[in-house]
Structure 1
Amino acid sequence: MLSEPRSGRLAAWGNALLAGIVSPDDAVHAVTGGDAVHRVEGMPGEEGPVGLTLALGRLRSLGARGLRVALPAPGHPLGLSGPPEFNARALEAEEAVVCEGAALGLVPEVHEAGPEGDVHVEVVWHCLPVREAPPADVPSLGEAERELAEALREATEVLSRLDVAASGPVAEAAIDAYRARTEGAARSASPAGGGRATGGRELLAPGYPPRAVRVLEMAQRVGLLVSLAYESGHGGAVSASEMAARAQALRPVERTARRAQVAAYNAFVEERDRERQRGWRA
């Protein structure tokens, strides 16, 4: 939850590309980020892996109007619609992208090589059939924002009650450090400019509503608090029973943060669908 999921980058910048808001070069540069290369395997009509530019163009030709994110966890198939084979692969990766308008989905497989400090990362996206059905448990942007506000309060209260350092100044310092680390990388990965959070940090691609940027930033903050709470329990100072109590208390908060992330990344497609429906009624 601390870092931006690769499926989020692909969906956000893929949506901007499909809508004609950014160029293919800008989209691919933003999606790749600090990774060495991204390829897509299993693309219909192709015998071997292809680059992102060709893959996104092929998805458009196959009818894809937009890209949605899935962030499933055990017992929570968030954003998935089947079939079981795709769901299982997405659950193993803990993320996936699902096309709207084309019955296809993409699941990343990450390969790392090289010494510490000089790790070479390659990502292979596996293109697989998906079931065209409503995704599981995805809230609207408004619902996600309301749930997050409550989750942030709950997380702070839970961590304070459990006497976890992540509820106070330690958490604030870690959040500030996290933002400082990610600001430069996000800017360099977003050459065309996109949705900005407070302080100018790029969170989403151009074309996303400001509310989606706000919700995504809050979701990342809640996720960071949860991660800090878990990390502060390692090292022997916290008993197994205390760790179990902490996990039980924080699990619903983490679930809410993941739901909000998905709602934020999917906001582009949701807004386009509403515009299309208004056009039909007019």
Structure 2
Amino acid sequence: MLSTPADNPYDEPRSGRLAAWGNALLSGLASPDDAAAAVLGADESHRVTGLPGDAEGELHGLTWALGRLRVLGVKGLRLALPTAGHPLGLTGPAEFNGAAMASGEAVLAVGVPLGLVPEVEVFGPAGDRSATVLWRCRTVNDAPPADVPSLHEAERELADGLREATVLLSRLDVAGAGPQALRALDAYRRRGHAELLAPGYPPRAVRVLESARHVAALLAIASGGPGGAGGGVEHGAAVSASEMAARREVLAPLGRTARRAQVAAYNALVDERDAR
């Protein structure tokens, strides 16, 4: 079964982990083995294919692939979280953008026009699932990424978005989302900052990412996403299909704000270094 970041708003996108820990490695703040282990997380395996010079179908482990990217001249990694109609973080060409859109995420190299898109295969019974990930490397356009804000802009947008979300979610009776959904949100809140990003990231980036993920979790409950109303979890309020569609339309701009903030946070190590 294929999986995308939208499957669970409480999970960190794999492309985010690769960008963050790849940046820590490229900055000399993490060892290759530690970076590879952090990117792997709870997955069973990650492999990389399509790197320049590879034979057809040649596969590499993360440690080797990250070292190869550094040898090729990659100076940093940037996250993309595109959705239909919003190519957030992408630069083209169309073939790469299409693959990234289908996955919902991608990583773009800084210094060399390369991008990586994960293909995730989830297996195992509910409650005991794991995944294998194949990262396909492709050539990308050497151009500014689409619609990525600075960390300062993202923080300001999120502050406005959080205020708006509080009002909207109160009006939409998120308290009726059901005990299971609210327990999931509470568990997410208790995770804290320890597992966010990687060594070298500024505290402001961690703060922005935590806020962005908080907004995404709230919106998932309000709009009937995973763990929320309409996602198989009991819902305390009677909500019709038309009312649920109206919710999603109202909340869509906040979702875009949260994704933009996530991308800005993961890219902060590269952006702040380049701004010096």
Q: Give the TM-score normalised by structure 1.
A: 0.86
Aligned to 2:264: 263
Say whether the 8 Å CA contact 2:113–2:142 is kept in structure 1: yes
One-letter amino acid of the structure 2 residue matched with residue 262 of structure 1: V
Relative to structure 2, which stretch is displaced further, 164-173 or 242-251?
164-173
Partner Cα separation in structure 1 for residue 102 and residue 177 of structure 2 = 31
Please state whether the residue corresponding to 1:118 is helix, strand or coil.
Answer: coil
Is residue 2:145 matched to residue 1:149? no
Is residue 2:207 matched to residue 1:225? no
Is residue 2:33 matched to residue 1:25? yes
Relative to structure 2, which stretch is displaced further, 225-234 or 100-109?
225-234
CA RMSD of aligned residues (A): 2.0
Aligned to 1:101: 111
Q: What are the equivalent positions in structure 2 for 1:41-190 lying under 5 Å apart?
A: 41-47=49-55, 48-165=58-175, 174-180=184-190, 182=191
Q: Tell me: CA distance 1:243–1:268, structure 2 relative to 1, closer, same or farther (3 Å).
A: same
Partner Cα separation in structure 1 for residue 241 and residue 251 of structure 2 = 15
Partner Cα separation in structure 2 for residue 117 and residue 169 of structure 1 = 19
Structure 1 gaps of 5+ residues are 184-196, 276-282
Say whether the 8 Å CA contact 1:160–1:167 is kept in structure 2: no
One-letter amino acid of the structure 2 residue matched with residue 261 of structure 1: Q
Partner Cα separation in structure 2 for residue 123 and residue 82 of structure 1 = 23
Partner Cα separation in structure 2 for residue 173 and residue 49 of structure 1 = 40
- The alpha carbon displacement at 1:113 in A equals 2.3
Partner Cα separation in structure 2 for residue 204 and residue 158 of structure 1 = 29
Partner Cα separation in structure 2 for residue 153 and residue 209 of structure 1 = 24
One-letter amino acid of the structure 2 residue matched with residue 49 of structure 1: L
- The alpha carbon displacement at 1:149 in A equals 0.7
Say whether the 8 Å CA contact 1:166–1:228 is kept in structure 2: no
Partner Cα separation in structure 2 for residue 152 and residue 67 of structure 1 = 28
Is residue 2:214 matched to residue 1:214? no
Please state whether the residue corresponding to 1:211 is helix, strand or coil.
Answer: helix
Please state whether the residue corresponding to 2:90 is helix, strand or coil.
Answer: coil
Aligned to 2:253: 252
Aligned to 1:279: none
- The alpha carbon displacement at 1:166 in A equals 6.9
Is residue 2:196 matched to residue 1:203? yes
Cα deviation per residue 1:92-147 (whole Å; 9 max; x = unaligned)? 00000000001100000001223333323110000001001000000000000000
Q: Give the TM-score normalised by structure 2.
A: 0.88
Relative to structure 2, which stretch is displaced further, 113-122 or 91-100?
113-122
Q: 1:2 aligns with which of 4, 10, 16?
A: 10
Give me the identity figure in percent. 64
Please state whether the residue corresponding to 2:29 is helix, strand or coil.
Answer: coil
Say whether the 8 Å CA contact 2:177–2:229 is kept in structure 1: no
Aligned to 1:273: 274
Partner Cα separation in structure 2 for residue 125 and residue 24 of structure 1 = 17
- The alpha carbon displacement at 1:171 in A equals 7.6
Cα deviation per residue 1:197-225 (whole Å; 9 max; x = unaligned)? 2xxx2201000011000000000000000
Partner Cα separation in structure 1 for residue 80 and residue 222 of structure 2 = 24
